[in-house]
Amino acid sequence: MIKNALKFIIAAALMCGIAAGTVFLASSRSLPFLPEAAPEYSTVEYSEQFSEPVSEYPSYPDDSSAEESFEPEESVDAVEEFISGAEAFAPGGYAALDRRYDPDSEKVVRVDVELPAEDTAVTAVRMGFVFTEDGRVFDSAFNDITDLAAGYEFLGVRDSTGAPVFKKDSAYYRYDAENGFVPSSYDEFNDVTGFEFDVPVYLCERVMPIKRTYIKKKKYYNFYGDDGNSYAYACKEVYAFYPFIENGVQRGIACTLRRTHGEDRLVFYSTRFRHLNDSIDNTLSDIYYPPESRGIESIGYFYFCDGYIRVRVKTADGWEERLMDTGCELARTLMGFDIKAYSDGCILYERDGKFGFTTNSLNWITTPDLVSATPFTEGLAVVQTDSGFGMIDTTGRYVLPPLFQKITPCSGGVFAAYSAEHGWSAFAKVSVEEPDQPTGESEADGYEESADES
């Protein structure tokens, strides 16, 4: 009897030990399998100490060009003068750049291509492709690929290489300038970005060796590293790890969307595992909220840019848009202004129906009295003044003067602008090392010289 009781006690102790070991390994995410539900952690709490406002109008940096020629004189001949004076390239004679615009190494040039004159003629500029009302399709070098693209549906998404995806007969394709349409590796689960607009190719890059995997049976996402660790699991959506240096050591932080505390929240994970009570965990914060929509108006969420990410905060007075740093602390913001977008290191603020851009360190790069403005995409933003629509770079300098009636956002390195006097004109971002083309009537680099003169 006593012997049997001892056997039972020993067996029970072994079972408890195994269970405790399993719990420890699972909490450290070292097991090859994943539990169906993750524990809830919150290591960062919202506090007013993170909400310190700054003065309403921080001063311009000494070297800012934002105030220079912000309102050029309106003239019937101004657009024609700009168009004829801009450096021009022939279609196919340049390589459009879809990266973030650098005014020191890149320039904006006009493309000498004939577009329809009507204001509705250009229907879209998307990921380097231009679509016109008469059914024509141009690639980013403004080669007419209408016949080649017949039967292919543009999906407005990217595959794992960043290439825009087309669909034909239930198969996915990408466009290659030399070979035409070739098969794409697009995966509708693992290649999603979280947005419903033409996200710049560099914004969603996965630069750290941590991959997301969609578990179809469970209908959730996990994060696995090449080191064998599981960095996040049971998420509704996962995005990309952002690398940064912490105390001289490279770390990473990633945003995910999870159902936690009975509601959808943004949950942030680190590449560093920490001891928390009796377990090991890498959760940083689960107190912030996702955007209400997924269009371009929500750019800045999900992916870190220049050390910051956009989040939504629930306060006693309602909802507040903020930026958060890699330590999961809220960045300073402008008193009396609302954040409308964050991209390319620039914050779009609005107050009383007027708009302006600051850097993420809160230095104005435009005066905060724009009639309207779009977020920066690929380093360029469309702005509207009392004179018309123009386009600026992230220093506040005009690359197109504010004299147009319409300008499409830059996408895939190209964009188009419309004026009643001149019709549609095509533009591209190219390297300053691109050879000059004989189609241009001036050697001026874009509008920078003209902007200074006005």
Tens of pLDDT, residues 382-420: 999 999 999 999 999 999 999 999 999 999 999 999 999
pLDDT given at position 276: 72
Binned at pLDDT 50, 70 and 90, residue 80 comes out as confident
Q: Which long-range contacts (CB under 8 A, 24 or more apart) does 51-57 make?
A: 51/322, 51/330, 51/333, 52/332, 53/332, 53/333, 53/334, 53/335, 54/332, 54/333, 54/334, 54/335, 54/362, 55/335, 56/334, 56/335, 56/336, 56/337, 57/364, 57/368
Ramachandran area for residue 190 (φ above 0: left; ψ -120 to 50: alpha; else beta): alpha
Binned at pLDDT 50, 70 and 90, residue 67 comes out as very low
pLDDT given at position 17: 53
Report whether pLDDT(33) > 50.
Answer: no
For residues 46-84, one letter each, b for 16 or more C-beta atoms within 10 angstroms of the residue's C-beta and e for the rest, the string is beeebeeeeeeeeebeeebbbeebbebeeeeebbeebbe
CA distance 231 to 235: 11
Query: What tokens were used for 311?
Result: 């989040």
Binned at pLDDT 50, 70 and 90, residue 15 comes out as low
CB 140 within 8 A of CB 96: yes
Alpha carbon distances (Å) from 175 to 137, 148, 169, 171, 377: 12, 10, 16, 13, 22
Amino acid, res. 282 = N
Residue 108: CB partners within 8 Å, gap ≥ 6? Answer: 380, 391, 399, 400, 427, 428, 429, 430, 446, 447
pLDDT given at position 280: 86
CA distance 76 to 420: 10
Tens of pLDDT, residue by residue over 196-247, are 999 999 999 999 999 999 999 999 999 999 988 999 999 999 999 999 999 9
CA distance 370 to 356: 6
pLDDT given at position 55: 40
Give 99's DSSP letter.
S
Tens of pLDDT, residue by residue over 248-284, are 999 999 999 999 889 999 999 999 998 877 788 999 9
CB 379 within 8 A of CB 101: yes
* Residue bearing tokens 């690639």: 139
**Other Cβ atoms within 10 Å of 431 Cβ, number:** 12
pLDDT given at position 292: 96
CB 407 within 8 A of CB 122: no
pLDDT given at position 221: 97
Report whether pLDDT(442) > 80.
Answer: no
Return mean pLDDT, the chain: 84
pLDDT given at position 116: 85
pTM of this structure: 0.81
Query: What tokens were used for 211?
Result: 């991959």
Which of 29 and 363 is assigned the larger pLDDT? 363
**Considering only CA atoms, which of 446, 440, 445, 437 is closest in space to residue 95?**
437
CB-neighbour burial class of residue 316 (10 A; exposed 0-12, middle 13-18, buried 19+): exposed
Binned at pLDDT 50, 70 and 90, residue 63 comes out as very low
Binned at pLDDT 50, 70 and 90, residue 13 comes out as low
CA distance 376 to 253: 23
* Residue bearing tokens 């958060």: 324
Tens of pLDDT, residue by residue over 289-308, are 999 999 999 999 999 999 99
Give 25's DSSP letter.
H
Mean pLDDT of 343-361: 97
pLDDT given at position 278: 76
Amino acid, res. 97 = L
Report whether pLDDT(104) > 70.
Answer: yes
